[in-house]
Amino acid sequence: MKILLFGEYNRSQWNIKNGLIALGHEAIVVSNRDGFKKVDVDIELIDPYKPYFLKKLRNLIKKLLGIDLSALSIKRQIKKNKNKLSNYDIVQFINEAPFDFDRKHQQQIFEWLTDWNKNLFLLSAGLDYSSVLYAHEKKFRYSILTPYFDNKGTKKDFSPALSYLTPEHIKLHKKIFHTIKGVISNDLDYHIPLVGYRKYLGMIPHAINLSKLNYTAPEIKDKIIIFHGINTFNYFKKGNDIFDAALEIISKKYADRIEIIIARNLPYKEYIKKFDKAHILLDQVYAYDQGYNALEAMAKGKVVFTGAEKEWEDYYKVMPDTIAINALPDVTQIINKLIWLIENPEKIIEISKNARRFVEQHHDHINCAKMYLEKWD
């Protein structure tokens, strides 16, 4: 089969693509490179108006004339590549609105790809209408909108998420769900809100290419190394402020026993190298399941503070704190879990081995690709 994977977050679709190719299919990823992360794609869609002064020009022209230069540029690139984006057996979109411009333009792109191809599917792998609505209605115990309700950050920080609840987006959401054959999620944070949707086909865990991630058993010599990677654009949404508060206390209490590495806004390839020597990685707080970065770190043998809620334990039939550490939005809880690991370094070695085994069992990209083929059928 020929498969077009449209849009990218981290390396979610890239790994599905490589799994499909390993199974004898033809697949490409078409997307921008996910901001500063600079992930791999086959056909890159470039927004030339990202630099500061060009972004100012874009905003001014949009305000004065109602013309969005970024949207025009991306649409022009897609039209130019029509032959390369046509006649696929399957098209899978990674999001209802993968671009940073008005939904009317995104609907036009969706309609073009619908006209040029056959069966269309949606992968719920990030913010979308169902997950944001579920969070906004406070159906989760906590969510990416918890800091918004707690008045952390600015209104602008949460405008990308809240845009999924606007009338303009709801119109696009309905159009997509009317057209697609089905929607698939890739972790419990997106699975839970979709349960009960007529076209929901179920969850396929994040696809991880383990051949690219060598496992290294932790060696604890002088100090336990803790890595905290920060995306400043999502500082409050990821709970980085909670991790920072916990690290401030831990760094004083165990100054002679730990080393803390903090990295900000690193491209993917630098990020994954930066945490190599760490034993513990602080990923995110407001999640029920592991995201892509957490799983890659787990595959490399790190003990990861991330989403590992009761729902996740029940789904995979695992015990708490044996594979990943469930990071709650509670500074004291984070501190206590860090103290437990620092005082019991043998637990780091045990969890490290379990984490790698878990990713191998549930997230292997070739096995995940087989599941996508089954769902699409």
The 10s digit of each residue's pLDDT in 272-330 is 777 888 999 999 999 999 999 899 999 999 999 999 999 999 999 999 999 999 999 99
Strands 43-44 and 26-31: parallel
Give the residues across from 228 on adjacent strands.
Answer: 262, 282
Residues with Cβ within 8 Å of residue 289, at least 6 apart in sequence: 187, 188, 189, 191, 307, 308, 309, 311, 312
83/345 Cα distance (integer angstroms): 56
Length of the chain in terms of residues written: 377
23/212 Cα distance (integer angstroms): 18
Burial call 49-66: b when 16+ CB within 10 Å, e when fewer: beeeeeeeebeeebeeee
- Does the predicted TM-score (pTM) go above 0.85? yes
Domains defined for the chain, CATH in brackets: 2-203 (3.40.50), 211-363 (3.40.50.2000)
The DSSP annotation for 293-339 comes to HHHHHHHTT-EEEE---HHHHHHHT--TTSSSEE--S-HHHHHHHHH
pLDDT over 70 percentage in the chain: 99
Stretch among 53-67, 110-124, 255-269, 321-335 having the lowest mean pLDDT? 255-269
Stretch among 89-103, 106-120, 264-278, 296-310 having the lowest mean pLDDT? 264-278
69/126 Cα distance (integer angstroms): 25
Strands 224-230 and 258-264: parallel
Dmax (CA) for the chain in angstroms is: 63
- 70, containing H or E segment: helix 69-80
Predicted confidence (pLDDT) per residue in 20-46, tens digit: 999 999 999 999 875 555 678 899 999
Q: 362: which DSSP letter?
A: H
Residue 153 pLDDT greater than 90, yes or no: no
Location of structure tokens 């089969």: 1
Predicted confidence (pLDDT) per residue in 188-218, tens digit: 999 999 999 999 999 999 999 999 899 999 9
Q: 364: which DSSP letter?
A: B
pLDDT attached to residue 67:
92
Predicted confidence (pLDDT) per residue in 170-179, tens digit: 999 999 999 9
**Phi, psi of 300, deg, nearest 5:** -90, 0
306/376 Cα distance (integer angstroms): 30
* Residues 164, 148 contacting (CB under 8 angstroms): no
202/216 Cα distance (integer angstroms): 33
Residues with Cβ within 8 Å of residue 7, at least 6 apart in sequence: 13, 30, 31, 93, 94, 95, 98
318/310 Cα distance (integer angstroms): 9
231/229 Cα distance (integer angstroms): 7
Location of structure tokens 């849009």: 7
pLDDT attached to residue 345:
94
